[in-house]
Structure 1
């Protein structure tokens, strides 16, 4: 999966800049669906609330198109199970950071 991402790293970074991403990591964790690409994302805190959902959805749609498969964007707050969050944090690989 990481090799597939690496082929598109310039486009991934450009999309992160366009959508005001502060940090993007790929998650490689066995507890998540294997047929999808999973990213942990943190957006710029200054995105206006009324544009936040649009920004998230547009980024997800552009990643889906780029990779030709479903991409799931996770936030740390997405994980209710603390153990799973810790496992995910240990398995993530940083791709982009501002």
Structure 2
């Protein structure tokens, strides 16, 4: 896992707690040696149950906060949105737990 994540782990955990996150995984280039200054950060997220309206607000607020924290683009993918088996396989090959179970 890249230093960009490990150096900010306490802030990441605090954001997860304040945004009802059940689990957060990094995946893609941020978990490999292919990560560079132009790379975005791919995150796979699972939330605890919440109302739909709260879900949307929480998702977009958290995505914005992660982009501000890392000062780069963040792709925040929800576990419930995964359906393509090839993409799921790609995620599973590199994913690394950052927060939760």
Q: What range is the shorter-chain TM-score in?
A: 0.7 to 0.9
CA distance in 2, matches of 1:95, 1:21: 11
Alpha carbons 1:40, 1:74 under 8 Å: kept: yes
Deviation string 1:43-93 (CA, Å, 9 cap, x unpaired) is: 001x11111100000000000100001111112343442122122112100
Range moving further from structure 2, 73-82 or 88-97: 73-82
When normalised by structure 2's length, the TM-score is: 0.83
Where do 5+ consecutive residues of structure 1 fail to align? Answer: none
Aligned length: 94
When normalised by structure 1's length, the TM-score is: 0.86
Where do 5+ consecutive residues of structure 2 fail to align? Answer: none
